[in-house]
């Protein structure tokens, strides 16, 4: 794959993740607790669409770490998006924020597994930064831990509240490396 294509995939994924990082807290951390279910549902549906886009963009980005791993990361992200879609439909029908939060908390375990798979792919690739892969592995471990503690009503600190830094690192790396590749391909072509 040429650098211009890789640049486009990385920049698109980075900007989509940035949009999700801005929209998600508005819908899930601000509107939901205030029982603004229409806003939460709108954000939920938008995030589902954006998650599917990111899932498809991850395939060519992660492919150098293994085609199977890239495909699995994508499939897991689509499964996670399907879970978010389902719980958002439930929110629209039942108007129950507690049910939304409970089901979404469980689906975040799946999100953690996709981060682990993506992290493994990044660690295996000679073209992708291992440190971002390691941070994704750590971030991925936080979500299943939180889901299990929620499932068993164990009072503990939210691990994903600390480990999310891997997701932020991925977002920043996608934007930085995508723009760097873009500049390099322009220099080469001129």
Predicted confidence at residue 77, as pLDDT, reads: 96
Predicted confidence at residue 31, as pLDDT, reads: 96
Query: Domain spans of the chain?
Result: 3-179
pTM more than 0.75: yes
CA distances from 163 to 108, 135, 169 (A): 13, 8, 11
CA dihedral for 141, 14, 29, 47, sign (positive or negative):
negative
Per-residue pLDDT of the chain (190 residues; tens, 9 = 90+): 688 899 999 999 999 999 999 999 999 999 999 999 999 999 999 999 999 999 999 999 999 999 999 999 999 999 999 999 999 999 999 999 999 988 888 888 889 999 999 999 999 999 999 999 999 999 998 888 888 777 777 777 677 777 788 899 999 999 999 999 888 766 655 5
Q: List alpha helices for the chain, DSSP H.
A: 3-24, 37-62, 67-94, 97-124, 130-151, 160-163, 165-189
Predicted confidence at residue 142, as pLDDT, reads: 87
Predicted confidence at residue 59, as pLDDT, reads: 97
């Amino acid at each position: 794959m040429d650098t211009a294509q890789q640049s486009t995939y990385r920049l698109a994924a980075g900007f989509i993740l940035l949009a999700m990082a801005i929209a998600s807290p508005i819908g899930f951390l601000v509107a939901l607790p205030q029982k603004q279910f229409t806003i939460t549902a709108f954000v939920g549906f938008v995030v589902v669409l954006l998650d599917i886009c990111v899932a498809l963009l991850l395939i060519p980005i992660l492919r150098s770490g293994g085609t199977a791993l890239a495909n699995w990361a994508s499939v897991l992200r689509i499964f996670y998006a399907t879970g978010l879609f389902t719980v958002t439909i439930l929110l629209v029908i039942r108007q129950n924020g507690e049910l939304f939060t409970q089901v979404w908390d469980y689906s975040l375990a799946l999100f953690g597994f996709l981060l682990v798979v993506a992290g493994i792919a990044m660690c295996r690739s000679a073209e992708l930064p291992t440190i971002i892969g390691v941070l994704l592995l750590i971030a991925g471990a936080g979500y299943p831990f939180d889901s299990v503690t929620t499932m068993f009503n164990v009072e503990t600190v939210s691990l994903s509240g600390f480990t999310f830094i891997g997701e932020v690192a991925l977002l920043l790396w996608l934007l930085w490396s995508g723009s760097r590749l873009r500049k390099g391909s322009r220099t080469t072509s001129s």
